[in-house]
Amino acid sequence: MTEVHRDKTVLIIDDSPINIEHLAQVLKSEYNIKVANSGGPGIEAARNQLPDLILLDIVMPDMDGYEVCRRLKADDATRKIPIIFITTKNEMEDETRGLTLGAVDYITKPFRTPIVRARVRNHIQLKHNSDLLEKLAMIDALTNLPNRRRFEQILKREWARCRRSQEPLSIILLDIDHFKQFNDHYGHLAGDRCLSRVARALPIPLKRPADSVFRYGGEEFIAVLPETDHSVGLNLAEEMRAQVAKLLIPHAYSSTNHPYISVSLGVTTTTPNSRSTPRTLVQLADKMLYAAKSAGRNCVMGKVFNGETDYDLDPAGA
């Protein structure tokens, strides 16, 4: 029985309408099919639609398949899309060149329908498995939040996006107060349960899909808030603090004047520009977190960063 993958997309790049029609007929019962009749539009379609696999002809006017493949593999957005060459060029040198450029397979015309189906199915499954492994590598196993590696990717992406649009970007860095004492007295299993409960509570105030919370390391968490000004960032941080307080997780051994688990938070906001970097924003958030701890913990401290190396510690809302 044929397995249908309607959530998977195959992009066919070929200048021959007959070839496109033939391949589409072979695969349309299993996959979502997109087409482009030359190299330039094919590259654009790949960037816009991010298909699961590309079937690429070599002999095309203006830009041949080798050049299309080279450009797709040079672009971070498309380099992981598997490419299968389907072509009349059947010399060993042609196949070697295609595979060297990064294609995962090479099928010569005239092709046999069962072979095309099987190879497309196999490479889409391989990509699915690879994507799944990559996704798992980005998730913290204890809290099920994205991990620090994923945070660095997202911050870099949102920094570039906000720099282009000249929109503000806020981050919130938070730390569970006196967590070492909690682990020492309640045990590490209780500590793990505490981290998991805090992790589930933190995203509750976030309303927009672009807002994300990550486990930063140990008992630290960090949130990336694109297109968010400082006042909104401070309000969200305060809501996070309140959500954790609502958990009422006993912490009888905390040095803070509070009988339950609490968090301290540092907030920084900037409009990204050439005078600053994402790392600078994180460093300032860490200084704000330190200021919150110095102020007695279980509170929020924040500062707007204007791109200069000015690290004066101001109270939240000042």
Distance between CA atoms of residues 56 and 88, nearest Å: 12
Distance CA 258, CA 309 (A): 35
**Angle value at C-alpha 60, between 58 and 65, nearest 5 degrees:** 35
Amino acid (one-letter) located at 8: K
SS3 130: helix
Q: State residue 96 phi and psi, 5-degree precision.
A: -60, -45
> Cα dihedral angle (86, 89, 90, 95), rounded to 10 degrees?
-70
Tokens of 17: 């309408």
Q: How many CB atoms lie within 10 A of CB 10?
A: 25
- The angle formed by the CA atoms of residues 96, 97 and 101, to the nearest 5 degrees, is 115
Catalytic residue numbers read 219
